[in-house]
Amino acid sequence: GANYGFWGGQVQYSFVNDSEKNWAASARLSFVSLYGPYDFDFTVYGVELLASQNYAVYSDWVSVSPYAGVSTYLSRSHETTDVVNLRDENTPGVRGMVGAVAYISTARLAVEYNIAAVNSVSFKVGIGF
């Protein structure tokens, strides 16, 4: 197996929450960091704006929210040992995203497609309060 991995987190704040039309807009801050290699640090910071609409599937217990958004990010890498000779790098970027979140009681399951220089798909699991 690999000797590295990634970990991260995000916080999100809803600044529009229209319960009559079931749509919302929010901003979120996120980061992802590499762990494992001791030769360098690598972290990505992001700021995102999102809009979504909620559709009830089963009462208030199960719902689905498709969403779309745009974000900007900063990727940072830094050498931490003399074993390698790497330059520090700071690379900004912009991406678009579309996805959907399934709300099952307090559980959250999501899939997201990112449109950028390199497109990607991510899956997320979380708990909402």
Is pLDDT larger for residue 9 or for residue 81? 9
Burial class (CB within 10 angstroms; exposed 0-12, middle 13-18, buried 19+) of 60: exposed
How many CA atoms within 13 Å lie on the side-chain side of 27? 4
Whether pTM > 0.85 for this model: the answer is no
State residue 3's pLDDT score. Answer: 84
pLDDT tens readout for residues 22-58: 899 999 999 999 988 878 889 999 999 999 999 999 8
State residue 120's pLDDT score. Answer: 96
pLDDT tens readout for residues 85-126: 778 899 999 999 999 999 999 999 999 999 998 999 999 999
pLDDT at 128 over 90: no
